[in-house]
Structure 1
Amino acid sequence: MQAISYRRAADVNAAIQAAQQPGAAFIGGGTNLLDLMKGGVAQPVTLIDITRIDALNRVDALPDGGLRIGALVRNSDAANHALVRARYPLLTQALLSGASAQLRNMATVGGNLMQRTRCGYFYDTAFVQCNKRSPGSGCAALDGHNRMHAILGASAQCVAVNPSDMSVALAALDATVQVSGPRGARSIPFAQFHRLPGDRPDLDTTLQAGELITSVDLPPSAFSEHAHYLKVRDRASYAFALVSVAAALQMDGRRVQTARIALGGVAHRPWRAEAAEQHLAGRTLSAATLREAASAALADARPLDGNAFKIPLAQRAIVRSVMLAAGQTGDFA
């Protein structure tokens, strides 16, 4: 087994400084990183423990009415925080859909953003063909077992999907990721944080070397009354989404003023369904309108041999989640 050194950072600056050495990795809850290390997928030389940085373990109201959630806030604490529940119920629902209660009690908000894609070929080093692990080696999933894989935004290099439920809600809510690094602090709009695979599927995010997530900022919410997170999976708990939908609406009676829709389980990053949002804006909800919006959201889908079922599944999930967000109980599917 490869020797690993361990360092505990007292503050953000100390963590960033320690991360400048080759092979360094930050560790918080460790719920994903330790799995990757056990399987030989991740091989850090130094682990930098950031769990004692109190400044990252806070939830604070922002002056503009938004909310700042520190990177070390546990998923369970974020989901159950009074301000999150009141202002961002979509985020609470998504967080409580993820993993198990035990994992939510350990996993952190920052770590959740950094989850690697959950492709079996990526996690099993016996499969040598994995461009995410070994760029240029190929993608075994393209002609292999790809039921769980991407139907949107994939490339010939990688068809894996982002596994995070939390991130789907954050995409719909237009969150911002705050990071600090050797070049200072910067803000990353959530839509620009996760990458599509392109020709570099080994890079899941746009973080630069040595950068540390410090918080996730949420803008003032107009969607506290009409929001729903729907997760379709093979079993009721501790399973990744086949398809998930985060839907948030501003309503005027039955008319949609503004819609925010993001999909999970379909792409290498949380997928913002802007075509569906535009189709719904300013229109009265009806079965025809919902079906048209769902069809627009999947217009560019390119399924693989094993996952064509995801297209109609995603369309029906969009219809159902928007209907539930609007508080309607009719059958529009």
Structure 2
Amino acid sequence: MNARRLIPTAALAAAVALGATALTACSGADAAGGGEDGKLDVVSSFYPLQFLAEQIGGDHVKATSLTKPGVEPHDLEITPKQTAQLGESDVVLYLKDLQPAVDKAVAQSGVKTVVDAATLTQLEAHGASGHDEHGHEGEEAHADHAEGDGHDHGEAGQDPHVWLDPVKYAEIAKGVGAALGKADPAHAADYEKNTGELVAKLNALDTEFKDGLKNTASRTFITTHSAFGYLAERYGLEQEGIAGVDPESEPSPARMKELQEIARKDNVTTVFFETLASDKTARTLAQDTGLKTDVLDPIEGITDKSQGADYFEVMRSNLKNLQKALGNK
């Protein structure tokens, strides 16, 4: 009698234990990868961070961006649908003070894992000139501009364009990899492996830029968008921006005259413009000074007009264009 009772009791206990295990596994999957496909849902504010999520997350993540291809990130406005998408995500990657609308949406999202890329590397202040010590006047001009255009680019005019320096981008990649591993411990080893591979590629890109820009006839380049301060500082170049850190700002007549003088003095051959903003000012300056124009892409988004299909391809196009403009020896 007791033996007959023991059999169903044991079976019941086993079934309960199995059900508990399944429930735990299901809960773990939901916590790590909230999407129906079990993948970690990672929403990024714009392309450079989405690229990191894709490269590091691989098949374990669903990576999307709030900034659609062709949209200038500085001017992004968040739709109600995107706000909802943000709130349902597992991880949010953004760069504080680059996109005010995103900052506000992230603060209201309630997402547990929020990664601010600005905290993963050291931000610096760059003005119209690429180096801090040469950019005081440019920084003041940008600060005045920022007060009136609604764009806040961080404390003391900090330059947000850190991804254009492969070394700083690698630092951000390491932080993103660690965050994904913490949010999804089951795949932490894969995230660590993918991060290591990406950092190695970025280190190789850094070497390409160092070697490729080591010997040039000129060290100065003029660009419509002062996005290349970190790149200029890393490789010993001088960035002279027509506009400030915001690509839509208009230069003063005095600044245009100053750039004409710089072009003559520093043997500048080319005025660079970008794919996501108007090239009108660049072409005007080029015509006034007899210079050529070319593309220097801040890689804030990839479109069919981009000189490459991803971050690495566009960065190598930038290197090639800089070498040509600066007179690579």
Length-normalised TM-score, structure 1:
0.23
Higher radius of gyration, 1 or 2: 2
Length-normalised TM-score, structure 2? 0.23
Structure with the higher fraction of residues in strand conformation = 1
